[in-house]
Amino acid sequence: MKKYVVLAGNIGAGKSTLVRKLADRLGFRPYYEPVTENPYLKDFYSDMRRWAFHSQTFFLTHRVRTHHLLAEDPFSVVQDRSMYEDAEVFARNLYEQQSMTKRDWETYQELYHTLITMLPPPDLIVYLRASVTTLKKRIALRGRNFEASISDTYLQGLNRLYDRWTNDFTLAPILIVPTDRLDFVEQNKDFEAIVKTIEQRLLDKQGILFPVGM
């Protein structure tokens, strides 16, 4: 039976790496975060409050299109980031930082909630939870120049919203993986423990849930 798994997590959490490893191990088809040229980005960075709604709506449109394609794919799939995170973490962060007006935020939310009722949810969301210290180390290791200026405050704010979202989300079961303690890149036993738990959750939606404080 086809399965649809989403990997969620902050910048530098290791989503793309785990997507690749899970796809190889489980025989799933990997879907990586699409690199799409957003025509609003230049305007957004020059005037965030004016262009935040336009930019986030563009991203949401592409996320919804990808979600639809994954739902229609006859193979089991594992996805790098979802439309839920775009709305509940990144767009909400813009609103809370007053980079998106209340009117635009309410319109965006209405659009988002309408769209998610039209699409089937994933079978499982795997949230790669990581501290800011861990995120900064991983961001430095991958050496992307445009990520070098990301502040601790920004990452902490996203972590807070990720924790809120995963605590309140009810459309799909969520498995929390404490990646400060579990090294699925260097430690094969940690990776196998994650694989085993994912398989259990996909079979009966229970399995062993790693404690958040682990």
Binding residues for ATP: 9-17, 138-142, 182-184
CA 178 to chain centre: 15
- Are 138 and 18 within 8 A, CB to CB? no
pLDDT at residue 147, rounded to an integer: 63
Question: Where is the binding site, in residues?
Answer: 9-17, 33, 45, 56, 81, 86, 138-142, 147, 182-184
Report the pLDDT value the prediction gives residue 149, as an integer from 0 to 100.
65
User: Which residues are the active-site residues?
Assistant: 80
Binding annotation for substrate: 33, 45, 56, 81, 86, 147
The pLDDT of residue 208: 46
Residues 32, 124: Cα–Cα separation, whole Å: 17
Ranges of the chain whose pLDDT falls below 70: 34-36, 143-149, 205-214
pLDDT for the residue numbered 186: 81
Give the model's pLDDT for residue 214: 37
What structural domains and CATH numbers belong to the chain? 4-204 (3.40.50.300)
Which pLDDT does position 44 carry in this prediction? 83
- Residues whose CB falls within 8 Å of the CB of residue 124, separated by 6 or more in sequence, listed in order: 3, 4, 5, 6, 172, 173, 174, 175, 198, 201, 202, 205
175 forms bridges with which residues in the sheet?
Answer: 126
pLDDT at 203: 87
